[in-house]
Amino acid sequence: MFEQAAQQHFEWHCQVGGISSDENGLCTGMGCFLAANIILSAAHVWESIRNRYEYPLVAHSSGGYRCEVLREWLDWDVIVLRTVQPIPRTKRAQHSRH
């Protein structure tokens, strides 16, 4: 049972941040896949860097994805993202060291 739960954690877990058209990006927080292309995260993760990057970014063991914001609830600190474009593996986002 624990093994199955751990496996699901790693399938659902992802990093969230921002990326620009030059494909430079930064991951600043965590998120969770709700479906194959839908991600739930804390709104402050994107809110804190949205003025420096053009798009939200999701990095996962399956690859990186440029995303769009489906819904934001800043009062509840919740954001829902949808993947819209894979990012080539040669382009890697930096991870913040908070």
Q: What count of other Cβ atoms lies within 10 Å of the Cβ of residue 54?
A: 13
* Pairing status of strand 94-95 against strand 38-41: unpaired
CA distance 29 to 9: 16
The two counts, helices (H) then strands (E), for the chain are 2, 7
Q: Out of 6-15, 23-32, 55-64, 81-90, pick the least confident.
A: 6-15
Name the band, by pLDDT with cuts 50, 70 and 90, for residue 22.
Answer: confident
31-81 pLDDT, tens per residue?
999 999 999 999 999 999 999 999 999 999 889 999 999 999 999 999 999
Cβ neighbors of 47 (< 8 A, separation 6 or more) are 74, 79
* pTM beyond 0.85: no
The number of residues making up the chain comes to: 98
* 83, β-bridge pairs: 67
**Range 2-87 classified under CATH 3.30.56.10:** no
Cβ neighbors of 11 (< 8 A, separation 6 or more) are 33
